Amino acid sequence: MTRTGEGRTREPLIGVLGGMGPEATLDFYRYILSLTPAAVDQDHIAVLIYSNPKIPDRTQAIISGGESPLPYLIEGARLLEEDGAGIIAMPCNAAHYYLEDMRREVRIPILDMVEETCAALRRRLPEVRTAGLLATIGTLKGRVYDEALEKVGVAAAIPDEAVCWMVQDAIDQVKAGKYGPSTRETFEYAGRRLLDAGAQAVILACTEIPLSFDENAVDYPTLNPARILAQAAVDWALGKKGRLP
Amino acid sequence: MTRTGEGRTREPLIGVLGGMGPEATLDFYRYILSLTPAAVDQDHIAVLIYSNPKIPDRTQAIISGGESPLPYLIEGARLLEEDGAGIIAMPCNAAHYYLEDMRREVRIPILDMVEETCAALRRRLPEVRTAGLLATIGTLKGRVYDEALEKVGVAAAIPDEAVCWMVQDAIDQVKAGKYGPSTRETFEYAGRRLLDAGAQAVILACTEIPLSFDENAVDYPTLNPARILAQAAVDWALGKKGRLP
């Protein structure tokens, strides 16, 4: 920790820039806890979660000139840095469109969920040449994954325009708390369509999707960037700093 | 918010002093989200959660002179205040032993989960004269609930010493992630014993208990202080500031 004071531990503090959306942030915190080996409270990792759901919509900003979330993202990252976080995790795929601009504004590392996911894809499924993306329109149009996938030798496949909007609509329903069989079926169907179109694996590239998707219930390989990011954050805190930027 | 800057909203910010334990903090954040009416991300409330599981064990400090958590609690409360929280919620019953000492150290209000619970008990179950407490040994020996219950005309009932330790052991198992039918049965059994001893309602006065207790599966009335505290925090953020200290 960069700041210590009376009563503050010198333990690693994970900063979480969340609220995009809040349920996905809840899910991310759950991954952190479940990935941490702990027998008593004190074995767990200190985490500071700034859940700011007022950050303007990423997709609107990327595709149709809505208010930019960047100033909010920078402010949130600075808050976490000032409070002593040693690293920042941002469980929102579309927000990674702004990652490089954010990194210039803080001194502590911001983990790259996209890069971590592509590395995990290469490691776990080395035979994959084309990966399908289930994501918001913002993540797709902003080409958030394309370059990182290319770097590991993988082509990105995206659904047909109509299916993309079905997925976006289901994501919006998850954000509204209206998820269940219908949203799950939409995500599973869209994943299946990606397989039909040549993808050999599917990336759940919006942190709301795992809230309404059972990775064990589909017959194709999937990657969950939120859980991969949580693992990277936990690894950092536990001292396995292999892949830090 | 007391501090505003570029990109920061002027929206109410709930500060959560958590990590005692982390799973209970996760649960508390879930209550906040589920109690907030929201159709899109931006309808949700901004929350800053400082989950510091390194805070020394409250029960050990209260009953056997272990390291005091107070300096850590004050440091956490100050961090939340400095970051612009308008109020602090602390989802740990035993930590309320230190509430008055904490309140002297920050200018923003710290909600009183114990007082909120007693008020809810009076409001929802006005006929109750004796309430049973399922809690850690620290909360019981520290008499965290006794005075607040007395103020609303209710006597506190606690289980026999042996049952108290069974409950403490089950709480420790929940903290270790080892919960299931066995811990649930322990809590339900202890609640039933309290009813047999004359209590007319049971307070789940440790935030780990609701993680392994189905309030709908028992035939006696229960109160969940964590959810009551979350409701008070949401009410504050939505402008219903009726019961603020």
DSSP string, B107-161: SS-B--HHHHHHHHHHHH-TT-SEEEEE--HHHHHTTTTHHHHHHTT-EEE---H
Whether residue B8 has pLDDT greater than 80: no
Per-residue pLDDT tens for A63-89?
999 999 999 999 999 999 999 999 999
Chain A CA closest to residue B178: A39
B177 neighbourhood in chain A, CB within 8 Å: 38
Helix (H) or strand (E) holding A205: none
Contact A50 B48 (CB under 8 A): yes
Using DSSP, state whether A65 is helix, strand or coil.
Answer: coil
Beta bridge partners of B240: none
| Confidence class for position A242, pLDDT limits 50, 70, 90 | low
Instruction: Give the pair of three-digit tokens for residue A69.
Output: 């979330």
Q: How many CB pairs under 8 A join A and B?
A: 137
Tokens 């536990």, residue located: A238
Average pLDDT of chain A to the nearest whole number: 94
pLDDT of residue A7: 43
Contact B22 A8 (CB under 8 A): no
The CA distance from B199 to the nearest CA of chain A, in Å, is 31
pLDDT of residue A8: 47
Per-residue pLDDT tens for A98-116?
999 999 999 999 999 999 9
Whether residue B4 has pLDDT greater than 70: no
Instruction: Give the pair of three-digit tokens for residue A75.
Output: 């402010």
Chain A CA closest to residue B34: A177
Whether residue A3 has pLDDT greater than 80: no
Q: Say how far apart CA B194 and CA B189 lie, in whole Å.
A: 9
Residues 2-31 of B with CB under 8 A from A: 5-9, 11, 19-23, 26, 29-30
B30 neighbourhood in chain A, CB within 8 Å: 26
Does A228 contact B at CB distance below 8 Å? no
Average pLDDT of chain B to the nearest whole number: 94
| Confidence class for position B5, pLDDT limits 50, 70, 90 | very low
Using DSSP, state whether A103 is helix, strand or coil.
Answer: helix
pLDDT of residue A76: 98
Does A39 contact B at CB distance below 8 Å? yes
Closest CA to B226 of B243, B211, B207: B207
Contact A33 B23 (CB under 8 A): yes
Residue B51 makes CB contacts below 8 A (sequence gap 6+) with A29, A44, A46, A47, A48, A49, B16, B18, B19, B22, B25
- Of A7, A53, A176, nearest to B74 by CB-CB distance is A7
Section B120-138 average pLDDT: 98
pLDDT of residue B68: 98
pLDDT of residue B10: 67
- Of A44, A53, A57, nearest to B46 by CB-CB distance is A53
pLDDT of residue A204: 98
Contact B38 A177 (CB under 8 A): yes
Helix (H) or strand (E) holding A157: strand A155-157
% residues pLDDT > 90 (chain A): 93
Chain A CA closest to residue B55: A42
- Of B50, B53, B70, nearest to A41 by CB-CB distance is B53
Q: Say how far apart CA A236 and CA A89 lie, in whole Å.
A: 11
- Of A5, A11, A33, nearest to B75 by CB-CB distance is A5
Q: Say how far apart CA B58 and CA B69 lie, in whole Å.
A: 7
Within a 10 A sphere around the Cβ of B120, how many other Cβ atoms? 21
**Side-by-side strand order, sheet with A201-204:** A155-157, A130-134, A201-204, A222-223
Residues 48-77 of A with CB under 8 A from B: 48-57, 70-76
Q: Taking chain A, what is the end-to-end CA distance rounded to the nearest angstrom?
A: 18
| Confidence class for position B242, pLDDT limits 50, 70, 90 | low
CA–chain centroid gap for B51, Å, is: 14
B52 neighbourhood in chain A, CB within 8 Å: 9, 46
pLDDT of residue B11: 87
Q: Say how far apart CA A12 and CA A7 lie, in whole Å.
A: 14
The CA distance from B124 to the nearest CA of chain A, in Å, is 28
The CA distance from B149 to the nearest CA of chain A, in Å, is 29
By annotation, the residues of B acting in catalysis are 92, 206
Residues 72-131 of A with CB under 8 A from B: 72-76, 79, 83
Residue B62 makes CB contacts below 8 A (sequence gap 6+) with B94, B97, B137, B138, B141, B142
Whether residue B7 has pLDDT greater than 90: no
Beta carbons of B84 and B13 less than 8 angstroms apart: yes
Beta carbons of B72 and A7 less than 8 angstroms apart: yes
Q: Say how far apart CA A9 and CA A26 lie, in whole Å.
A: 24
Q: Say how far apart CA A223 and CA A227 lie, in whole Å.
A: 9
Chain B CA closest to residue A37: B176
Does A230 contact B at CB distance below 8 Å? no
Per-residue pLDDT tens for B70-118?
999 999 999 999 999 999 999 999 999 999 999 999 999 999 999 999 9
Residues 150-189 of B with CB under 8 A from A: 172, 175-177
Per-residue pLDDT tens for A30-69?
999 999 999 999 999 999 999 999 999 999 999 999 999 9
pLDDT of residue A241: 56
Contact A51 B40 (CB under 8 A): no
Least confident of A120-129, B69-78, B233-242: B233-242
pLDDT of residue A115: 98
B19 neighbourhood in chain A, CB within 8 Å: 41, 44, 46-47
- Of A44, A70, A175, nearest to B22 by CB-CB distance is A44
pLDDT of residue A11: 87
Whether residue A245 has pLDDT greater than 50: no
Using DSSP, state whether A162 is helix, strand or coil.
Answer: helix
By CB neighbour count within 10 A (0-12 exposed, 13-18 middle, 19+ buried), where does B63 fall? middle
Residue A92 makes CB contacts below 8 A (sequence gap 6+) with A18, A20, A24, A58, A207
Contact B47 A46 (CB under 8 A): no
Q: What is the DSSP letter of A110?
A: B
Section A194-219 average pLDDT: 97
Catalytic option among A87, A92, A148, A234: A92
Q: Tell me, what amino acid is at B70?
A: L
The number of CA neighbours under 13 Å toward the Cβ of A16 is: 35
Section A195-215 average pLDDT: 97
Whether residue B34 has pLDDT greater than 90: yes
A51 neighbourhood in chain B, CB within 8 Å: 29, 44, 46-49
Using DSSP, state whether A203 is helix, strand or coil.
Answer: strand
Section B189-201 average pLDDT: 97
Using DSSP, state whether A46 is helix, strand or coil.
Answer: strand
